[in-house]
């Protein structure tokens, strides 16, 4: 199998599974219980919190365990909105993950106000647009760090400086960035940040919301006193312990993995653009793009059809388009970047990770070239192009 969908999820690392297993067997005790075996479980959670806080330069008490990126995103928006004394206006961008966008759409339906900042052709928001959108009743801004479809890295420090100048808390969805890029929440200047373990070799269904000390936020859940009464519910101990190990390993490897994966990414982009005509790279290049992200539009064909062809050859990748009521909806990210329907629907995301090597790149090109040729030979659009 040729796995090129690491932005969707990553394989669990062997060392991570190893540290999780005891908490799925002999160390099963409830961390809130008072007896000795339970105290060992509590200590494992406390240790994990310290490891994660260290990895992003936060304090342990600023780390709140959640069930993943979607929960962290939902909580950041709803929790800050509910606690805010400023008002009920939120600023976000048109290219956020649905974990943010659909919360905002819901809030609009119940009377709150949301500004969706536009992006340029590479997916960047304009700091000036952001500053202009801030109002006296703006209670929160949420701007993602790394885009999941095109890998664009927003200038978060610059945006945070603007937010801080106006006293507006800034949340960043860093689900695609954490474990792949060095993260320092203090230097970034954000008040809230989401991360998710399964994007960096950890287990699914566990994540973190970083909440800077002093940031007003209502609890995600009411119930027990877990997570300092902000997120009730018996902890996902194995998940939390696994997440800490995965983050520790990933962060240690960033200095070697980031340049290695970046070089692989650039090779793949070069190989596709030079070997397959009528293709274009979507998003930014160099350091302003996630190391593992390659998003390419193949003109005259549907990305979904190409995906099926790749799947038949054992290659896993993805598109940003969603199938709703039988029709293909183009990616909201690519449309916001001004691509139009044809180029948006013809886009495929290949996302590289720690397990990929250069051999995968050449294997992909071998599969990709005939698949694109075949689909184009069946495409009326391509036929029209050849006749024109």
Q: Applying CB under 6 A, which residues contact ligand PLP?
A: 68-70, 73, 97, 99, 144, 148, 173, 175-176, 196, 207
CA distance 363 to 356: 11
CA distance 193 to 174: 6
CA distance 188 to 158: 8
Nearest to 172 by CA among 104, 115, 93: 93
**8 A C-beta contact, residue 304 and residue 326:** no
Q: Please, which residue, 176 or 345, has the CB nearer to ligand PLP?
A: 176
Q: Please, which residue, 41 or 174, has the CB nearer to ligand PLP?
A: 174
Tokens encoding 199 = 């994007």
CA distance 279 to 346: 9
Q: Please, which residue, 71 or 227, has the CB nearer to ligand PLP?
A: 71
Q: Please, which residue, 134 or 243, has the CB nearer to ligand PLP?
A: 243
Tokens encoding 109 = 């339906």
**8 A C-beta contact, residue 334 and residue 94:** no
CA distance 177 to 225: 30
Q: Where are the alpha helices (DSSP H) in the chain?
A: 14-20, 36-55, 69-83, 98-109, 127-133, 156-165, 185-188, 226-229, 237-275, 303-312, 332-336, 340-345, 358-377, 380-387
Buried b (16+ CB within 10 A) or exposed e, 83-94: ebebebbbbbbb
- Helix, strand or coil for residue 311? helix
As measured in angstroms, the least distance from the Cβ of 10 to ligand PLP is: 11
Our answer to whether residue 139 is catalytic in this structure is no
Q: Please, which residue, 68 or 330, has the CB nearer to ligand PLP?
A: 68
Q: Please, which residue, 173 or 302, has the CB nearer to ligand PLP?
A: 173
Catalytic residues: 323
């Amino acid at each position: 199998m040729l796995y090129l969908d690491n932005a969707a999820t990553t394989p669990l690392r062997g060392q991570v599974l190893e540290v999780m297993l005891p908490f799925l067997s002999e160390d099963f005790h409830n961390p809130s219980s008072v007896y000795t075996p339970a105290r060992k479980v509590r200590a494992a959670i406390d240790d994990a919190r310290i490891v994660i806080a260290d990895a992003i330069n936060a304090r342990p008490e600023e780390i709140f365990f959640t069930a993943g990126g979607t929960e962290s995103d939902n909580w950041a928006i709803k929790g800050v909105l509910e606690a805010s004394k400023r008002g009920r206006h939120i600023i976000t961008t048109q290219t956020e993950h649905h974990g943010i966008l659909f919360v905002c759409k819901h809030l609009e339906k119940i009377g709150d106000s949301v500004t969706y900042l536009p992006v340029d052709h590479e997916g960047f928001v304009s700091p000036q647009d952001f500053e202009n959108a801030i109002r006296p009743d703006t209670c929160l801004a949420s701007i993602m760090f790394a885009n999941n479809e095109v890998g664009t890295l927003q200038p978060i420090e610059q945006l945070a400086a603007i937010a801080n100048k106006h006293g507006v808390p800034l949340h960043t969805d860093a689900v695609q960035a954490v474990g792949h890029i060095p993260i320092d929440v203090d230097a970034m200047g954000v008040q809230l940040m989401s991360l998710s373990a399964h994007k960096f070799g950890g287990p699914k269904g566990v994540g973190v919301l970083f909440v800077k000390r002093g940031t007003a936020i209502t609890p995600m859940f009411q119930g027990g006193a877990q997570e300092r009464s902000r997120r009730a519910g018996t902890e996902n101990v194995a998940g939390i312990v696994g997440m800490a190990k995965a983050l520790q390993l990933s962060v240690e490897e960033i200095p070697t993995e980031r340049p290695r994966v970046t070089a692989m990414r650039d090779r793949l982009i070069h190989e596709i653009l030079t070997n397959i005509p009528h293709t274009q790279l979507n998003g930014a290049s160099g350091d302003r793009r996630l190391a593992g992200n390659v998003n390419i539009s193949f003109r005259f064909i549907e990305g979904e059809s190409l995906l099926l062809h790749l799947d038949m050859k054992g290659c896993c990748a993805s598109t940003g388009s969603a199938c709703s009521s039988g029709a293909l909806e183009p990616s909201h990210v690519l449309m916001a970047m001004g691509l139009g329907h044809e180029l948006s629907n013809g886009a495929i995301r290949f996302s590289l990770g720690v397990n990929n090597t250069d051999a995968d790149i050449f294997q992909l090109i071998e599969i990709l070239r005939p698949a694109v040729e075949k689909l184009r030979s069946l495409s009326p659009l391509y036929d029209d192009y050849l006749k024109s």
